[in-house]
Amino acid sequence: MATAVPAASGFRLYLIITLAYWAFTLTDGAIHMLVVLHFHNLGFSPLSIAFLFLFYEIFGIITNGVGGWIASHIGLNRTMIIGGLLQVVALSLLAVDPGWLTVSYVMGAMALSGIAKDLNKMSAKSSVKLVAPQGEDANNRLFKWVALLTGSKNTLKGAGFFLGGLLLQGLGFQITLLALAIPLFVVYLLTGWLLPSEMGVVRTKAKISQIFSKNRSVNLLAAARFFLFGSRDVWFVVGLPVFLQSVVGWNHVEVGTFLALWVVGYGFVQAGTPLLLRQGAGGQGPTGATARNGAFLLALLPVGIGLALNHGLDPAPVLIVGLAAFGVVFAVNSSIHSYLILAYSDNDKVAMNVGFYYSANAAGRLTGTVLSGWAYQTEGLTGCLWWSSGFILCAALVSLLLPRQAGSTIP
């Protein structure tokens, strides 16, 4: 079994993990907005901008795959600290003379950022399983803690989008990166001092071959997660910010602010999903049927936005209203998935299962990111939206096979 923590200190450790995760996520949102807007201004095509994130996503897949195995040997606290410090290195590598910023150089720096982000996320979310209170109503409380961590993280990512656009306009690319790197370094030094050194270490060491889950419920959920996050990034990563700047005519701060507000609202909805789904006492949480119904509903929204744009409606209000609706339903779906992966995992397998699951998440983002650049360049934003709806439909079909009872799994 994984090393647990005393129940009395669980909430304190949850706060430490959450605060460190917030700090990291602020820089993750900022670095995305900085790279997209800065290199668009330099004349890079949408497809070229998408390729700047190629290694970010590829190395995220690899990191998630082996990260759970590494954490089972050295502890979740250490993988979390390593992730934070690698992000400091990535930010510093981009804060160099502009003449050094070739495509291959930026791809390498973003690869480090991808490793950092997925080590950090896997560690933070796996840790919640170990520090959450046990006993009566445990599933419901776990759902609330996971929803709060995930939702608040995305709120801070939205703040990072805004911060990236604002500081890029006011301070420039290099100074902004240094201003992000230095505080993050301090945060992770403190986090390393405050977290227990053996948290998440498994007494019976897992073999590297065990990174692939043998739990069918986990495998199905990972497949649904691949399509769900591919559906978001296929229009959100490149197509949407470039469309807002080049077609709608918004500047850096306006694009950054809009996307920031969207992600902040998305985070609030994630955090409030247990209330929206009216989860009561008794230890019950969402089921596979909940994930299926949410995905079928979500698939309708990109179609609606695309049809509105094709009929010549003013794109600004269409995207504002459409993105608000998409954000609410997507956030609920994401929060359900984040709970289910922990509910399907035992303590001694949680890091391995979460790592495998987020490998699928990263693979979906990679596919969506590359398709976002290609589809926007060849078919425009509406092409990105058709791809998005198709991916969501695939997620819904996979979710039909998930367990229909709370807390159950398919072995």
Q: What is the torsion angle, in degrees rounded to the nearest 10, for the CA atoms of residue 151, residue 153, residue 159 and residue 161?
A: -100
Inform me whether the pLDDT recorded for 2 exceeds 50: no
Q: Which amino acid appears at position 188 of this protein?
A: Y
Q: Which of 2.60.40.60, 1.20.1250.20, 1.20.120.1200, 3.20.20.370 is the CATH number of 7-198+211-399?
A: 1.20.1250.20
pLDDT of 403 reads 80
For residues 250-275, give the mean pLDDT: 79
For residues 168-178, give the mean pLDDT: 82
Region class of 249: left (phi > 0), else alpha (psi between -120 and 50), else beta? left
Per mean pLDDT, which range of 140-154, 161-175, 273-287 is the poorest? 273-287
Percent of the chain scoring above 90 in pLDDT: 17
202, β-bridge pairs = 2
Q: How far apart are CA 190 and CA 194, in angstroms?
A: 6
Inform me whether the pLDDT recorded for 387 exceeds 90: yes
For residues 281-302, give the mean pLDDT: 82
Q: Which amino acid appears at position 205 of this protein?
A: K
Inform me whether the pLDDT recorded for 315 exceeds 70: yes
Give per-residue burial for 363-397: e unless 16+ CB within 10 Å, then b: bbbbbbbbbbbbbbbeebbbbbbbbbbbbbbbbbb
Per mean pLDDT, which range of 140-154, 176-190, 249-263 is the poorest? 140-154
Three-class secondary structure of residue 381 per DSSP? helix
DSSP-derived letter for residue 245 is I
CB atoms under 10 Å from CB of 262, counted, come to 21
- Per domain, the residue ranges of the chain are 7-198+211-399
User: What is the sign of the dihedral through the CA atoms of 275, 141, 221 and 81?
Assistant: positive
> In terms of DSSP H, where are the helices of 171-211?
173-194
Which residue did the predictor score with more confidence, 168 or 291? 291
pLDDT of 411 reads 46
